[in-house]
Amino acid sequence: MKLENCEIKRYGSAFLTAPEAAQLLHISTSHAYKVIHRLNQELKAQGFLTIAGRISRDYLLQRTMGKAPEKEAHWDGCLQGQ
């Protein structure tokens, strides 16, 4: 089965950088780095793999704004018997 043309379509990136998080939360970039560091520590304690300087968009919104993850990611259909 060839998967090279398959992709998950999502509006925006799944991970945010500190400048993107800063813009989203209306805070300074230096403070965004601190927030990302703290949230990544939480994720590591739960056994997740983290990327320094980046944070899951869904996790950031959940922890800062109480929003549940949106269901905007979906397959483009390439795994359905092709």
Quick check: is 6 in a domain?
Answer: no
Task: Give the pTM.
Answer: 0.68
Quick check: is 60 in a domain?
Answer: yes
When divided into structural domains, the chain yields a total of 1
Quick check: is 49 in a domain?
Answer: yes
Spatial distance between the Cα atoms of 45 and 41, rounded to a whole number of angstroms: 6
Quick check: is 32 in a domain?
Answer: yes
Domain holding 34, by residue range, is 13-65
Quick check: is 56 in a domain?
Answer: yes
Q: Among residues of the chain, what percentage have pLDDT more than 70?
A: 67
Contacts (Cβ under 8 Å, ≥6 apart) of 76: 6, 7, 8, 9
Tens of pLDDT, residue by residue over 18-76, are: 999 999 999 999 999 999 999 999 999 999 999 999 999 999 999 998 877 665 544 44
